[in-house]
Amino acid sequence: MKTGFKIILVAVALGLLVGIRQPVKAQCAQCAATVETNSKNGGDAAKGLNNGILFLLGAPYLAVGVVGFIWYKKYRRKNVDISMRNEKLHLN
């Protein structure tokens, strides 16, 4: 496949993923009931639950970023001498 077609295909797929979404409830019934009761009584359990969800969401990205940074620092080339011939290239 051509590179341009691949880029268009990926862009369309990402557009569909972003454009087509459905609201879901991703909490178990017990957690939802506890948070709802606590917030009605003036507690702050919902804030703690939201902070925990954000922490769990960000931890894998942070781990991948750290591993990528270490990999980049360890395997990048340093002081590479590029010696090219001083003659014209004949491509035919």
Total length of the chain: 92
Residue 85 in any domain: the answer is no
**Per-residue confidence (pLDDT) for residue 48, from 0 to 100:** 83
Work out the end-to-end distance of the chain between its first and last CA atoms, rounded to an integer number of angstroms. Answer: 25
pTM: 0.44
Does any domain span residue 25? Answer: no
- What total number of domains does the chain contain? 1
The answer to whether residues 46 and 39 touch, using CB atoms and an 8 Å cutoff, is: yes
Is residue 19, in this structure, part of any structural domain at all? Answer: no
How far apart CA 92 and CA 90 sit, in angstroms, is 6
List, for residues 3-35, the tens digit of each pLDDT value. Answer: 889 999 999 999 888 888 777 666 677 777 888
Domain that holds residue 51: 45-75
For residue 65, what pLDDT is reported?
Answer: 96
Instruction: Give pLDDT tens digits for 47-87.
Output: 888 888 888 889 999 999 999 999 888 887 677 677 777 77
Q: Which residues contact 34 (CB under 8 A, 6 or more apart)?
A: 45
For residue 53, is it within any domain?
Answer: yes
